[in-house]
Structure 1
Amino acid sequence: MQTETSPSGRKADSPVTPREDSGVSANIAATAPGQLRVIKRNGTVVSFEASKISVAITKAFLAVEGGTAAASSRIHETVAKLTEQVAGTFLRRMPSGGTVHIEDIQDQVELALMRAGEHKIARDYVIYREEQSRKRAARQALSPATQKAAGGITVIQPDGSRAPLDIERLHTIVSEACADLSDVSETRILDEALKNLYDGVTATELSTSLVITARTLIEQEPNYSYVAARLLCDNLRAEALNFLGVAESATQADMDRFYAEALPAYVQRGVELELVSPQLADFDLERLGQALLPERDLQFTYLGLQTLYDRYFIHSEETRIELPQIFFMRVAMGLAVEEDDKNARAIEFYELLSSFDYMSSTPTLFNAGTLRPQLSSCYLTTVPDDLRGIYGAIQDNAMLSKFAGGLGNDWTPVRGLGSYIKGTNGKSQGVVPFLKVVNDTAVAVNQGGKRKGAVCAYLETWHMDIEEFVELRKNTGDDRRRTHDMNTANWIPDLFMKRVFDDGEWTLFSPNDVPDLHDLYGTAFEERYTHYEEQARAGKLKLHKTVRAQNLWRKMLGMLFETGHPWMTFKDPCNLRSPQQHVGVVHSSNLCTEITLNTKANEEIAVCNLGSVNLPQHIDENGLNLEKLEKTVRTAVRMLDNVIDINYYSVDTAQNSNFKHRPVGLGLMGFQDALYKQHIAYGSDDAVTFADRSMEAISYFAIEASSQLAAERGSYSSYEGSLWSQGIFPIDSLDILEKQRGADYISINRDATLDWDSLRATVKAQGMRNSNVMAIAPTATIANITGVSQSIEPTYQNLYVKSNLSGEFTVVNPYLVRDLKARKLWDGVMVNDLKYYDGSVQSVDRVPADLKAIYATAFEVEPRWLVDAAARRQKWIDQAQSLNLYINNANGKKLDITYRMAWFSGLKTTYYLRSLAATGTEKSTISTGNLNAVSAEQSGGPAPVPAACSLDDPDCEACQ
């Protein structure tokens, strides 16, 4: 019997070779060689040798029990008996001689082990046979030419040594990568990859060849994205496990054992290298290691895992020391470190994160469990109107950005161009020169060296500098008064929108002349503003300017179309619906327009802590699974609340604000995927209804979870006097907005399905742990990690190349492919058609009408559907949502209608305007299979007119 390695591929503790006469009867030893012959798997026939059975069984025992002196005696006696039994079986069957197949002999060895009660040995022997079978399959799966080529290849190992190409292990890795995936071929991957190899190839190049081969096939079959991810994971295992001293390499099957060993080794090395907090060593690492679930490594798409590898995994001198499940456990431990039962909570948090049911925001994933856990996502500041305060605010920006925070600055208090400066008896240069400094600071101080610094400046529409402010992103004009790298947003009072609707005049002021306007909203603002207008007309305010409201509105829209900025955000609904209006004013939103929290110069920098529910993970055959969603939200809110206490605060005023109000922002992602799973078109009443019902459920469970935390931990300190304490929930605050704005200027659906009265009673009795609990962020990178569509976005294209900081990735809509396969329409022709039509199915004649409706892309969905769905969500949210608006063939009229509709529908904010790019996917790739070679500018990404509006804008990732 031929045995190249021991069972399970493990080395014996010491080589023990049985003697020729070790217990085998003289009769067997004498008669077997001449009378029995063995047919090997390659068809050759050799003499039957009982000693080979003895050797094979001995190796099986040594692999499990080792070669100690105590074990040696038992092994020797047991092997002798078993060998005699196996050999005797064939002699009795064929006393006159004959032939027996080698598989029959191995079957008898298994049977003998089981009958002898050696079940553990038998199990390992079975595993060993399966491994050998896979190795043989590997050789047989390859074409003869490839087998021949592989035979002449040696591989340069990381230590510089050479070794023959291990085709059997290669096949094992590819086989594992393809396991349980339909319509993928391991043979195809091996054949194609080996064609590109040469003698002397490095181990890294060998692994890369496998990954690249799988990548090129993604456009034909989305499941190859999972294959590529699993092949990449093999590289990660070798890198991390070798660094940690656990193993030189490992297959996916090996990780059942190695993950548990790797976690304590990781914590020890991480603490030694000052990369993770020493607090992690206080956990029960053995218990947590056993809780790791290796099979969850198989959930990743290639884009998701590559993103984690490039930008999230902790590394030492460019060597990643984390693996996916250790990464999630590190984050979970970091969030549970102050829990009473921190081990149980860490496991609870890990299971939620690693399942992809929920994902923390990027700063939390970066920094949880490290020496400086800056876990919060967004910081909102108000800049005061004095030089020391202005540069203090810019310094705050630098410190907050250094530790991966996205910034929103309220610049409205700073006096306008031409206003009087008493201290110098001169005139001010206005806001714009300071914004140039802010822009350059964001470039100079990026987010921990991991992504670009990102900041957004907000200015109210009545500010004297508003006309120059809206031109900050232009590529023409005085470059000293331009900011090409930062974002800008209009902070628009309702009164201005009313003047636009009524074609009235609008007056611009310098805030040092009208200082109270900054803190007023609703009818109080309207009364005071009209008072100042009267003073200006009477000549009592010298510095002012009167313009036609519609002209300024058109300029704002024109710059938005031309440069992508400033974004449109609305001051009054943000304040009138704020639960915290009793203690302060919302002066701006954040970098991504979803956070609406109070700020106060020199006293409070608002902080928000974000995370997102993965909505399609909560969809089953019956639609939205409320029971699962409630469980997810309950744990997620607890994790978010923990962030506030654990977080590292680089600025004291941020800590003051966060401890006082404890706001969090639970959002969602994968809205489009959730629609696909239910076969609902984005542009439909059903989608709008689903947006309403799903957000209602998240809102209900989030408020309930915060109230339950209040019962356990106490309400936040500024709770009394809040809308919560008055029994006014987000859905109820619509009444306040309508009353203050006027019924003629608002139209909002008020339908509800859950028992809100009961929840109001609960909150009244228990209070709230958090001043704010909901906000829908862009989720740019965490959606990539979990393999779903971003946030509430419609699908950009059904086939395109995504470009981000990790490279370029083919993205194909797996739901479309699934449905086309079901109707036998998915083939190479369809792939070519999708490329030709830039990922659209609308012009492909053989695609049925119902699928064309479901798989309409972002620019094929009328903007009103985006606004309608957003309005239904907004009624349930105590903060806001990052709402991108897609407009095909945008013009002034379309923009005017869309943004008026957004305000009229009660939205608090909007985000990027995206218009269709002039270029599309390069057609030369149609038949070459080289879609990954398409450049970012040719990828068909939304390159509006503003270059800043690329689909995966790094600025978006500052929130998530």
Structure 2
Amino acid sequence: MSATALAEPRPTSPSDTEALQVIKRNGNLVSFTPSKISVAVTKAFLAVEGDKAAGSARINDAVHRVTEQVVQAISRRLKAGGRVHIEDIQDQVELALMRAEEQKVARAYVLYREEHARERAQHEPVEAHPHLTVKQASGRTVPLDLGLMKRQVEQASQGLEGIEGDSLVEEAIRNLYNGIDEAEVLSALIMTARGRIEREPDYSAVTARLLLEQLRLESVNALNLDTSLSLAEVYPQALSAFIHAGIRYELLDEAMAAFDLEQLGAAIKPERDQQFGFLGLQTLYDRYFLHWKGDRLELPQVFFMRVAMGLALREDDPNSRAIEFYNLLSSFDYMASTPTLFNSGTRHSQLSSCYLTTVGDDLEDIYGAIRDNAMLSKWAGGLGNDWTPVRALGSRIKGTNGQSQGVVPFLKVVNDTAVAVNQGGKRKGAVCAYLESWHLDIEEFLELRKNTGDERRRTHDMNTANWVPDLLIERMRQDRDWTLFSPSDVPDLHDLYGNQFRERYEHYEALAAEGKIELFKTIPAKQLWRKMLTVLFETGHPWITFKDPCNLRSPQQHKGVVHSSNLCTEITLNTSADEIAVCNLGSVNLAAHIHNGELDVQRLERTVNTAVRMLDNVIDINFYAVPQARNSNLKHRPVGLGLMGFQDALYALGLPYTSPQAVEFADVAMEQLSYFAIRASAQLAAERGAYESYEGSLWSQGILPIDSIELLKNARREGDINVNTDSRLDWTPVRELIAQHGMRNSNVMAIAPTATISNIVGVSQSIEPAYQNLFVKSNLSGEFTVVNPSLVRDLKAEGLWDNVMVNDLKYYDGSVQQIDRIPTELKSRYATAFEIDARWLVEAASRRQKWLDQAQSLNLYMAEPSGKKLDELYQLAWERGLKTTYYLRSLGATGVNEQAAPVAAPQPQVCSIDEPDCEACQ
């Protein structure tokens, strides 16, 4: 007879008990199956009366009565469904046998239980705590199982150094109390390990593995699988169970069931769960895994496979492609953007990251655009709105013969809409408004984020950006005047750039001087530029982005105009009344492609080839919330392949960010990525056809991104651009491939902030320098201590990592510069964002920009800003041909974007670098 048979799962159970679950002795949950009681009781009778009793009517009747009594007793105790411990069930079997006056059988059953209890004690001894007890889900109070805690810590520590398992358990126990819920014991271990990350980075992996055990119990329970199985054993079953449950709960597309789930389940690699740090796994747990009634249905590798399957739905061989996509995602070599991770394979597969719109100068257009914002934000998209066409304050309204209130009142509505529609309840809605610098409302637009003034004309929850023509920079440098107009008087300026803009702008200035345009304002160009920099310093907004480089280097200038960038300033696509630009993002983990101190070019090639295919697939699979987005995306098929982990790559190469070698590496790595990405799109064109609007593009003219720099030079005055145009690769094969087959995508590359997906992978964000070497990161998943593992590794090699060093890092706000015993070389390598001259960031960005067909999210850091420094920095960005810049991070700022200090005893403050809006795209 098998007592544990009572806990074995079976596919179905009677309706009155189907909600019940059995808690096994190891704490795992399985379905309650009454038929197993009959089997156990039958075996008990046979053990006493012998095989001759098999089939006896008396025994069959007795078995039936005992089983019925047990089921009724359990059901009465848990009428509304719930959990019952296996020992409680066996207690009820004993009681029912006694009541049936089957004393011999009952005694045999008791002896059997005792015998197996002794066997379990020999093989799995329980090391009980002498004082503490825990409350099991069944309500039973039992001694705390120290042995289980130690085994969990031991398993979580395998392969890691510097982990003190016994002291970890002891410290966790100090946070427990008598009668604590059994499930909270594992949580206590997680919280204790989490608190040690600052002293030893490997505790991040320990914490992640303990969290993984917690997730395993939760997910396997939710899917009604055998919780006694290891992850390696449960993963193949979990995939199939999850897909069917997801379809049943109307979470997943029914087409997901058409995959060969057995084949895909066998392709899952459970060992890749060991790559996670705590921040990465906790972020997935809190915000990405699909759940039902609060329980996560996905395990990490099931999650990656679900995303891969969703992206392979329309492939000719979806199973093979899904495995290929899964291997890339789960290896951490590449990560899709957050909307793709959220929604791939679901019933609303909104996978795109960024949406750009142009708002028309009409009340219906304005509120139509606000409605579009709401619909796009609902499905987790970051928004960039071009508001330049809307007439300025004081302009005549023909329909009513009244005067316009200008752009600002409408932006207040946009701000409140972003707050109200919070991306499907998953994260804050986020939008950025763009305005060209000749718009008559520009001065009031600059003050939208100020903390003073009329609150009705302030937008504290949205972002703003200047769309700056080159002519303004030229006028500022020449100390000349600048004229502000209402777009209702100069409507074509919105669609002009380069020399055409210059000529038309000067024509309108002449008309104003002649009195033919009444509504205008003339100010010194330096005055406007100075105010732009002042409010940027004070509030972090509006960001400074450059209209002419975005258009003159755009491959799609034959089909329209780039009127703005997106929420994070890396997307540069055309917009119009009929087209909402859409971009699909993903990022290569550059750090994963450094091997033996060199860039692994072959690995990068494989990564990019698969990544571009995945991004192109998004376009056809994508759910489009508004028709203008669908129209634009299918016609032009833009994607934005970027990178992250640039700082980690420099660590692996032993290079300081502030070095010519780091700038050179930025150039070399970006050229390789650009080469492979453009070639991959051309190869897809050979397979699938070129994008619809290809003819007439710069691509069709043989002009690649590196060539388009010449177009920008020709439009600027002599000496106003200084860009390195060196290349190292033979681009001839790529040019020939494009000439033969065209391009599958109008745009291929853009470097996004990667605020969240870099956390998942466990590398530095995007192209960012290290914020600090020890700090507390705050995002929607909570607060996390972050310590630079590369620094710890190097300090250990020098014999310098100890508790004193941890305290020194806290005291000096995560900086190594004032710690005397750290070698000069390491001080240079581990200089942090505010210790780096921001001009190095611009130089590296310039080397990347020459290879990009779109732009990059470039934050600039300045510890002690001044008007002169800001002026020089942003003029340098313009001279180096950058298309856009992003936040100005300043320790001296007094506005809402002031950079909080990193962790410092005794009360750690929170780093605000992980802006919620950054996460909207990535």
TM-score (norm 2): 0.86
Are 2:625 and 1:663 equivalent residues in the alignment? Answer: no
185, 191, 196: which one aligns with 2:175: 196
Distance 1:501 1:133, change over 3 A: farther
Distance in 2, Cα, partners of 1:829 & 1:665: 45
Are 2:683 and 1:713 equivalent residues in the alignment? Answer: no
788, 797, 806: which one aligns with 2:772: 797
**Which residue identity does 2:144 align to in structure 1?**
L
Q: Which residue of 1 aligns with 2:353?
A: 377
Q: Which runs of 5+ in 1 are unaligned?
A: 14-65, 70-130, 140-146, 926-932, 942-949
Distance in 1, Cα, partners of 2:492 & 2:228: 66
871, 879, 886: which one aligns with 2:854: 879
**SS across alignment from 2:804:** helix
247, 253, 257: which one aligns with 2:226: 247
Distance 1:12 1:327, change over 3 A: closer
Q: Which residue of 2 aligns with 1:293?
A: 269
**Which residue identity does 1:605 align to in structure 2?**
I
Are 2:148 and 1:169 equivalent residues in the alignment? Answer: yes
Distance in 1, Cα, partners of 2:250 & 2:226: 23
**SS across alignment from 1:347:** helix
Distance 1:135 1:745, change over 3 A: farther
Distance in 1, Cα, partners of 2:201 & 2:815: 17
505, 508, 516: which one aligns with 2:492: 516
Q: Which residue of 2 aligns with 1:354?
A: 330
Alignment of 1:212-227 (within 5 A): 212-227=191-206
130, 151, 157: which one aligns with 2:136: 157
Q: Which residue of 1 aligns with 2:241?
A: 265
**Which residue identity does 1:924 align to in structure 2?**
A
Q: How far has the Cα of 1:622 moved from its partner?
A: 4.1
**SS across alignment from 1:334:** helix
Distance 1:923 1:700, change over 3 A: closer
**Which residue identity does 1:661 align to in structure 2?**
H
- Is the 1:135–1:172 Cα contact (8 Å) retained in structure 2? no
Are 2:559 and 1:583 equivalent residues in the alignment? Answer: yes
Are 2:522 and 1:546 equivalent residues in the alignment? Answer: yes
- Is the 1:579–1:772 Cα contact (8 Å) retained in structure 2? yes
290, 295, 303: which one aligns with 1:327: 303
Q: How far has the Cα of 1:890 moved from its partner?
A: 1.1
Q: Which residue of 2 aligns with 1:535?
A: 511
742, 762, 782: which one aligns with 1:787: 762
- Is the 2:775–2:903 Cα contact (8 Å) retained in structure 1? no
Distance 1:829 1:552, change over 3 A: same
Q: Which residue of 1 aligns with 2:916?
A: 954
Are 2:175 and 1:184 equivalent residues in the alignment? Answer: no
- Is the 1:586–1:599 Cα contact (8 Å) retained in structure 2? yes
Q: Deviations over 1:644-682 (max 9, x none)?
A: 000000100000000000000000000000000111000
Distance in 1, Cα, partners of 2:312 & 2:122: 45
**SS across alignment from 1:851:** helix
Q: Deviations over 1:22-60 (max 9, x none)?
A: xxxxxxxxxxxxxxxxxxxxxxxxxxxxxxxxxxxxxxx
**Which residue identity does 1:856 align to in structure 2?**
A
Percent of residue pairs identical: 66
Q: How far has the Cα of 1:338 moved from its partner?
A: 0.7
Q: How far has the Cα of 1:197 moved from its partner?
A: 2.0
**Which residue identity does 2:767 align to in structure 1?**
I
827, 832, 835: which one aligns with 1:860: 835
Distance in 1, Cα, partners of 2:561 & 2:140: 67
Question: How many positions carry a matched residue from both structures?
Answer: 811
Distance in 1, Cα, partners of 2:918 & 2:900: 23
Distance in 2, Cα, partners of 1:923 & 1:632: 40
Distance 1:889 1:845, change over 3 A: same
Q: Deviations over 1:750-808 (max 9, x none)?
A: 11111112211111111100000000000000000000000000000000111111111
Distance in 1, Cα, partners of 2:511 & 2:646: 50
Q: Which residue of 2 aligns with 1:567?
A: 543
Q: Which residue of 2 aligns with 1:490?
A: 466
Distance in 1, Cα, partners of 2:902 & 2:658: 25
Distance in 2, Cα, partners of 1:811 & 1:922: 9
Are 2:801 and 1:840 equivalent residues in the alignment? Answer: no
Q: Which residue of 2 aligns with 1:770?
A: 745
Distance in 2, Cα, partners of 1:784 & 1:249: 31
Distance 1:696 1:134, change over 3 A: farther
- Is the 1:470–1:556 Cα contact (8 Å) retained in structure 2? yes
Are 2:625 and 1:650 equivalent residues in the alignment? Answer: yes
**SS across alignment from 1:381:** strand
Distance in 2, Cα, partners of 1:211 & 1:237: 14
Q: Deviations over 1:855-875 (max 9, x none)?
A: 000000100000000000000
Are 2:463 and 1:501 equivalent residues in the alignment? Answer: no
Distance in 1, Cα, partners of 2:679 & 2:3: 59
Q: Which residue of 1 aligns with 2:655?
A: 680
Distance 1:156 1:864, change over 3 A: same
Are 2:580 and 1:605 equivalent residues in the alignment? Answer: yes
Q: Deviations over 1:275-327 (max 9, x none)?
A: 11111111101111111111111111111111111111111111111110111
391, 394, 406: which one aligns with 1:415: 391
**Which residue identity does 1:780 align to in structure 2?**
A
Query: Segments of 4+ in structure 1 off by > 4 A?
Result: 10-13, 131-136
Distance in 1, Cα, partners of 2:273 & 2:138: 28
**Which residue identity does 2:186 align to in structure 1?**
S
Q: CA RMSD in A?
A: 2.2
Q: Deviations over 1:793-836 (max 9, x none)?
A: 00000001111111110000000000000000000110010000
**Which residue identity does 1:333 align to in structure 2?**
M
Q: Which residue of 1 aligns with 2:805?
A: 830
- Is the 2:436–2:468 Cα contact (8 Å) retained in structure 1? yes
668, 685, 692: which one aligns with 1:693: 668
Distance in 1, Cα, partners of 2:215 & 2:588: 27
Distance in 1, Cα, partners of 2:738 & 2:875: 36
Q: Deviations over 1:169-194 (max 9, x none)?
A: 32222111100011112222112112
- Is the 1:135–1:169 Cα contact (8 Å) retained in structure 2? no
Distance in 2, Cα, partners of 1:957 & 1:12: 42
Q: How far has the Cα of 1:133 moved from its partner?
A: 10
**SS across alignment from 2:155:** helix
**Which residue identity does 1:172 align to in structure 2?**
R
310, 317, 320: which one aligns with 1:341: 317
Q: Deviations over 1:407-456 (max 9, x none)?
A: 00000000001111111111111001111111111111110100011000
Q: How far has the Cα of 1:134 moved from its partner?
A: 9.9
- Is the 1:836–1:921 Cα contact (8 Å) retained in structure 2? no
Q: Which residue of 2 aligns with 1:617?
A: 592
Q: Which residue of 2 aligns with 1:924?
A: 905
**Which residue identity does 1:226 align to in structure 2?**
A
Q: Which residue of 2 aligns with 1:209?
A: 188
- Is the 2:776–2:903 Cα contact (8 Å) retained in structure 1? no
Q: How far has the Cα of 1:538 moved from its partner?
A: 1.1
Alignment of 1:703-782 (within 5 A): 703-782=678-757
Q: Which residue of 1 aligns with 2:604?
A: 629
- Is the 1:675–1:682 Cα contact (8 Å) retained in structure 2? yes
